[in-house]
Amino acid sequence: MPKMSSELAAPCKRTTLHGPTMGTRWSASVDADHTINLTALRQDLASAVELVDAQMSPWKPESDLMRLNRAPVDDWVDLPAETLEVLACALDVHRLSAGAFDPCVGALVDAWGFGAVRDAPDADAICIARQTALRPAHGCLELDRQAGRARKSVPLQLDLCGIAKGYAVDRMATVLQRHGVQHALAALDGELRAVGSQASGVPWAVALERPESARRAVQGVIELESLAVATSGDYRRYLEVGEARLAHTMDARRGAPVNNAVASVTVLARTCMQADAWATALLVAGPDEGLAMAQRMGLDVLFLLRRPQGLVEMGLGRFSVSTAPGSPKPQLN
């Protein structure tokens, strides 16, 4: 006897899977029925994130990224396809953003005290790093993706922290889909990607954090369906030097930490890797250049700007439909 339609539709149950990685935690909210092996799914999600960390971490001496950093100039270095994919995207965004996003800021990150080398700025190291930062990344790094290799034409210290977490979220989304999951939300820090909607058909509700270092508060809510979102800001990771607060994001064009009126930038994109890279680029670019850049690229973006009167929102694309300050709630399906 054929099954009735009600018997074919297995009920979904909300499960949250999570684990440590990259000094923080990954998570996945999954609406899954009994056919999904959650134990295997969690293992595969953890493996996907750890693969990105093992390949692209600037904190692990044996990562593929660090092998490339140590390699002599003009020597080809064999690299995994995943690392080459991220490097290719990084160079593309670097070119399109006129250098606002730069994957070659590793020496600056270390010199200013945000890397694995030191925990405070070093004037001599900053001077040396600034000389390297003046070279355009897309002209100093050659990728041969077909042969699985890359080489530098000048000494470079690459850092993919402004894009790798977004890519890790994309890898998580791929794992979820491979396991047959149709409704999930993958997250890693401020980077998230929705696989479909919730099982109920309602988009995933994602809180947009208010850019305050002393406490965690919600600025607004974003609704996601089959889209990714990433936020970059100056308020979570920083150093205090005297009365100055130095944000961890580097502006390679100035050879210094980003210093402008942008408190945070949130970008929507089909992939989290693109959203992550462009959020970083627009944070560095600042309110004027960043707005023009986002308009030129047709990006869906929300800037939160620090002004004397308080935080000011500036939205483009789907964020421009916000009807009230403090409540960005675009319908993104």
Cα angle: 112, vertex 115, 119; to 5 degrees:
60
Query: Does pLDDT of 246 surpass 80?
Result: no
Contact 315/327 with Cβ under 8 angstroms? Answer: no
Question: Which CATH topology does 59-152 take?
Answer: T-fold (1.10.3980)
pLDDT mean over 129-152:
86
Task: Name the CATH architecture for the domain at 203-333.
Answer: Roll (3.10)
pLDDT value, residue 27: 97
Phi, then psi, of 39 in degrees rounded to 5: -65, -45
CA distance 32 to 109: 41
Give the mean pLDDT of the chain. Answer: 89
CB 112 within 8 A of CB 106: no
What is the reported pLDDT for 266? 97
| For residues 246-266, average pLDDT | 89
User: Would residue 311 be called left, alpha or beta, if left means φ above 0 and alpha means ψ between -120 and 50 degrees?
Assistant: beta
Token reading at 307: 């002004």
pLDDT per residue as tens digits for the range 185-197: 999 988 999 999 9
Decide if 248 contacts 256 (C-beta within 8 A).
no
Question: Looking at residue 271, what DSSP letter applies?
Answer: S
* Mean pLDDT of all residues in 302-321: 90
- Are the CB atoms for 159 and 147 separated by under 8 Å? no
Q: Where are the domains of the chain?
A: 59-152, 203-333
Amino acid at 151: R
Judged against a pLDDT cut of 90, whether residue 329 lies above it is answered with no
Could you write out the DSSP letters of every residue in 287-309?
HHHHHHHHHHHT-EEEEEEEETT
The number of residues in the chain equals 333
DSSP string, 150-163: EEESS------TTT
**Band of the pLDDT at 11, cuts 50, 70, 90?**
confident
Mean pLDDT of 172-197: 97
The single residue listed with the structure tokens 């998230």 is: 192
Which residue blocks in the chain are alpha helix, DSSP H?
5-8, 38-56, 64-70, 81-96, 106-111, 123-133, 164-178, 272-285, 287-297
The token duo for 159 is: 């850092």
Q: What is the pLDDT of residues 66-92, one digit of tens each?
A: 999 999 999 999 999 999 999 999 999
Block residue for tokens 């990954």? 26
**Residue 171 contacts by C-beta under 8 Å, 6 or more apart in sequence?**
48, 49, 51, 52, 82
Task: Work out the pLDDT band at 113, boundaries 50, 70, 90.
Answer: confident
What's the token pair of residue 13?
């149950």
pLDDT of 5 over the 60 cut:
no
The whole-number pLDDT of residue 305 equals 93
Residue bearing tokens 């990771």 = 237
Q: Give the per-residue pLDDT at 189.
A: 87
Residue with the larger pLDDT of the pair 248 and 333? 248
- Output the six-digit token pair for 59: 């904190």
